[in-house]
Structure 1
């Protein structure tokens, strides 16, 4: 009798031991911002891609965790006619989450929709160089361009270029249907979005069966949620002041990496005082970057002097050109007769903007520029500032990769104009030679710095927190994304 009890107890202990426990198959991620929509082809908010990119939707190509352009729904592609056309070979046996087949006609629909005259795509410029999109059979598509473009495979990797299902396009904003490893389940607005693994996925099946994205905008609440175990990971953690405490806790690991997020004090050149380069220069020299990085980001961030990431091989350090110099600011304000200037500073709800905005406003006031803050919710900022350019100053991180070309867009919310910059971007698009492209990118950075096009503050660091057993989350953010396709739990 005693032996049987002992054997039973041993068996129970073995079954309960961590070594034999089954790994979890669900994950809950924290996010600061709730997206205004789940359609990555119709909205500029990075929070959209942070949920659906590489999870729900896929494009012809994709960006990997190291920033490389990788095959997506196209298993291969070939440049033709000196880069004036590309032939994409599509993967076989791919289906949308509604069960319909993905083929060349879906590529035609997706790209024609993105570049149409009435397109609401926030990155419509990605598609402006396309002359035509023509099927070459059910699994082959030829994209003909107006001019050679060595960057087309990269452009097709953006979230704005994902392939969409024509049959379900009417409900894409609230019930997206894609070809990715996870399918949309439901959206409890104000709280969370739920995804589940798609059984019909063409690629390697994900280890996770479910994923929940919870919206926690308050930094204090984000810390509390991690400590209580209410979320498993916060890939972009909004409370950097608590990172040392989390790093010292064996339950967690802290992932510090890079992003493509140039954080800027944007200036609206269409506002009469800000059209004067002397005033923009005065504002730039009133800003102490280090004070902002320490005060708002607790040291996480790299100073920048133009709209370009420091980790890129073609980056040049131009921070000295707009170094903190309050005396120069006062002299330029006197020269322009702007001593009594009042400017409006519109701030979106992200912690870096709210915290940084208070410091920026104090610095500008100290230099003699009355600065009045308006705190905005995300949808309000997108509508008033981004779409309608109704602002003087704003603070925002531009997290899209290699987006220096936004300064060549005539209708972009900066209202920046410089024919020399436009010509530089046009030459960049037209060449595939690496050395020439590197030189043009350096020229572009210098033009923006010389023009004081905006006040370039810092490159946003990626500060993430996760439970120690989670593997596969991106440490760097070459694209605003939380790719869960290779995320798993370990014992």
Structure 2
């Protein structure tokens, strides 16, 4: 049996044992939240899905974290120093304890990252940290990272890794121990994950005694659970069309804030029609975003101008955007060499296939966009596929147009991942084969620039060029929505919808 198979077997057995050993923690001062799916992995070095992140956010602390503008702020490290963007020294808070009672030291930090980088340890997060050349313990509360070259996104990547105790092995999958505000209690697979408040948390004991994540994949069941009172809080897991009904429930309240989930249409730049920028612009002008936001999204979104949301420190708002203008779209198509062959007749200027996943939001939006484009003479055929088939086609470049979303994009280096010519799959997400040497140069310059103001200027140029070239047509940023019982107080919604804020909530 290989190492990974053994780990999976241990996890399966361990989760079953934990579920049997632990008594449910349900009381008047416990808050029950609904999640859409089970966490993939409780180890912060391994889990990459949203539900895993929600577990990690309660149990573990990273060295640094991000604020509402996605700027780096202290966390376990109360400060840090950087020398030429290559050497980072972190100074740890004294007196921080793990849930086991052991003091957290620089040795734990060193172990966390070195174990992640160990070649025998498989982690999808490993690539973010291969730039590390050495990790040195200066003293119990000081740790130094030396990089092979400057990397402007190093700190935001560090913010994504919770610190684990030195020597943690495979049991980190089963009974995770961190230093976060809540202690892991038990996990009943596909049913619920339970946490207990950590009395000795360095940031102050949480105001509730416990948190339970109930796994409820079906949206109708989640809504019924809220209405019945068996669930206290749901964040970003209620369909937009049902939010108005939730607002009319006397025992519930709804909290909204603009988020950073970015929806867009991607183009295949190798397609002879879509390679023409005027055609891409025409499609941008032909789409009635405001109508879609109003009718399909129930005004729970705002028009987007690029991947980074307005809340982000690097956001540039003065870019090329496309307001709804069918007449302008027609003019651009004429200029691009695609005249309307029969005026108001049934024949289109050209035919395109719009691939979508079978997810309801994608199919509904594709239907409206098809009618928008038909109005300007573009014949659109919508083809829907199961998620894995759809996604495999997108990765392979087997598409003309597709709709997708970037969830929680806070690191401006996402422009490298999406648009650098060296980021074609499997090395990145430049699925449309976009190439622009000027963009490559700017992205490479941004990578080694550590001065924040200079970095902001570079990303401003990148955003302006990308918006002008239009390899994506920006659609909207979804609004974060929390629905909760009236008794739940103290919840703050960040653009990323982080669950780290749950240590501040209380029941009135």
TM-score by length of 1: 0.79
1:456-480 deviation line (CA, Å, top 9, x unaligned)? 1111211111222212222233454
1:231-264 deviation line (CA, Å, top 9, x unaligned)? 1111224233343443344422221112222222
1:74-133 deviation line (CA, Å, top 9, x unaligned)? 232122x23331211123444444555533233223333445678765555643543322
For residues 146 and 442 of structure 1, the distance between their equivalents in structure 2, rounded to whole angstroms, comes to 27
**2:104 equivalent in structure 1:** 102
Establish whether residue 372 from structure 1 lines up as the match of residue 380 from structure 2.
Answer: no
Query: Residues 373, 184 of structure 1: CA spacing in aligned structure 2 closer, same or farther, 3 A cutoff?
Result: same
8 Å CA contact 2:197–2:206 kept in 1: the answer is yes
Establish whether residue 470 from structure 1 lines up as the match of residue 488 from structure 2.
Answer: yes
Give, in angstroms, the shift of residue 391 of structure 1.
Answer: 6.1
Secondary structure of 1:373's partner?
A: strand
**1:289 equivalent in structure 2:** 289
For residues 360 and 173 of structure 1, the distance between their equivalents in structure 2, rounded to whole angstroms, comes to 44
For residues 38 and 229 of structure 1, the distance between their equivalents in structure 2, rounded to whole angstroms, comes to 28
8 Å CA contact 1:181–1:205 kept in 2: the answer is yes
Establish whether residue 320 from structure 1 lines up as the match of residue 327 from structure 2.
Answer: no
Query: Residues 261, 116 of structure 1: CA spacing in aligned structure 2 closer, same or farther, 3 A cutoff?
Result: farther
**1:10 equivalent in structure 2:** none
Query: Residues 62, 360 of structure 1: CA spacing in aligned structure 2 closer, same or farther, 3 A cutoff?
Result: same
**2:430 equivalent in structure 1:** 414
TM-score by length of 2: 0.77
Secondary structure of 1:88's partner?
A: strand
Unaligned runs of 5+ in 1: 1-22
1:36-75 deviation line (CA, Å, top 9, x unaligned)? 333443354333223321x112110123456553322223
For residues 40 and 281 of structure 1, the distance between their equivalents in structure 2, rounded to whole angstroms, comes to 42
**1:12 equivalent in structure 2:** none
**2:368 equivalent in structure 1:** 359
8 Å CA contact 2:311–2:495 kept in 1: the answer is no
Secondary structure of 1:293's partner?
A: helix
Give, in angstroms, the shift of residue 303 of structure 1.
Answer: 0.8
Query: Residues 95, 385 of structure 1: CA spacing in aligned structure 2 closer, same or farther, 3 A cutoff?
Result: farther
Establish whether residue 483 from structure 1 lines up as the match of residue 483 from structure 2.
Answer: no
Equivalent of residue 52 in structure 1, options 44, 52, 56 = 56
Unaligned runs of 5+ in 2: 1-26, 340-347
For residues 113 and 270 of structure 2, the distance between their equivalents in structure 1, rounded to whole angstroms, comes to 32
Equivalent of residue 75 in structure 1, options 55, 74, 78 = 78
The 5 A counterparts of 1:89-128 are 89-98=91-100, 101-114=103-116, 122=124, 126-128=128-130
**2:185 equivalent in structure 1:** 185
Query: Residues 387, 171 of structure 1: CA spacing in aligned structure 2 closer, same or farther, 3 A cutoff?
Result: farther
For residues 130 and 120 of structure 2, the distance between their equivalents in structure 1, rounded to whole angstroms, comes to 13
**1:210 equivalent in structure 2:** 210
Give, in angstroms, the shift of residue 190 of structure 1.
Answer: 3.1
8 Å CA contact 1:256–1:462 kept in 2: the answer is yes
8 Å CA contact 2:37–2:190 kept in 1: the answer is no
For residues 260 and 188 of structure 1, the distance between their equivalents in structure 2, rounded to whole angstroms, comes to 31
The 5 A counterparts of 1:58-457 are 58-64=61-67, 67-79=70-82, 81-98=83-100, 101-114=103-116, 122=124, 126-149=128-151, 152-157=154-159, 159=160, 161-165=161-165, 167-173=167-173, 175-199=175-199, 201-267=201-267, 280-281=280-281, 283-312=283-312, 314-318=315-319, 320-321=321-322, 325=326, 326-327=329-330, 331=334, 334=338, 339-346=350-357, 349=359, 352-353=361-362, 355-360=364-369, 363=372, 367-376=378-387, 380=388, 384=392, 393-403=402-412, 404-405=414-415, 406-407=417-418, 408=420, 410=423, 411-415=427-431, 416-457=434-475
Secondary structure of 1:485's partner?
A: helix
Secondary structure of 2:59's partner?
A: coil
For residues 317 and 190 of structure 1, the distance between their equivalents in structure 2, rounded to whole angstroms, comes to 45
Equivalent pairs, count:
458
Relative contact order, CA 8 A, sep 6+: which one is greater?
A: 1
